[in-house]
Amino acid sequence: MDFFETVRARRSIRRFSDRAVAHEDILAMLEAATLAPSATNEQPWHFIVIRDKELKNSMRDVINAIVEASMAATDDRARKQRLARMRLYSTHFADAPVAIAVLARPWEGPRYSNSSSEPSHRDLGIESVAMATAQLQLAATALGYSCCFSSGPAEFAREELEAMLGVEKPWFLLGIISLGTPSKPPRERPPRKLVEEVCTFIG
CB of 139 to ligand FMN, least distance (A): 15
Closer to ligand FMN by CB, 110 or 190: give it: 190
CB of 108 to ligand FMN, least distance (A): 23
Q: Which of 138, 117, 115, 106 has the alpha carbon at shortest distance from 39?
A: 106
Q: How far apart are CA 44 and CA 129, in angstroms?
A: 7
Closer to ligand FMN by CB, 67 or 167: give it: 67
CB of 130 to ligand FMN, least distance (A): 7
Q: Which of 34, 35, 38, 39 has the alpha carbon at shortest distance from 109?
A: 39
Residue whose Cβ sits closest to ligand FMN: 152
Three-state DSSP state, 170? coil
Contact residues for ligand FMN (CB under 6 A)?
11-12, 14, 89-90, 148-152, 189-190
CB of 54 to ligand FMN, least distance (A): 22
| Residue 25 burial (CB count, 10 A) | 18
Closer to ligand FMN by CB, 46 or 189: give it: 189
Return the amino acid letter for 12.
Answer: S
Closer to ligand FMN by CB, 106 or 152: give it: 152
Closer to ligand FMN by CB, 70 or 89: give it: 89
Closer to ligand FMN by CB, 167 or 174: give it: 174
Q: How far apart are CA 60 and CA 123, in angstroms?
A: 27
One-character DSSP codes across 12-43? B---B-SPPPPHHHHHHHHHHHHTS--GGG--
CB of 135 to ligand FMN, least distance (A): 13
CB of 26 to ligand FMN, least distance (A): 20
How far is the CA of 98 from the CAs of 1, 147, 171, 177, 183, in angstroms? 23, 9, 21, 8, 14
Task: Quote the distance between the C-alpha of residue 27 and its chain's center.
Answer: 17
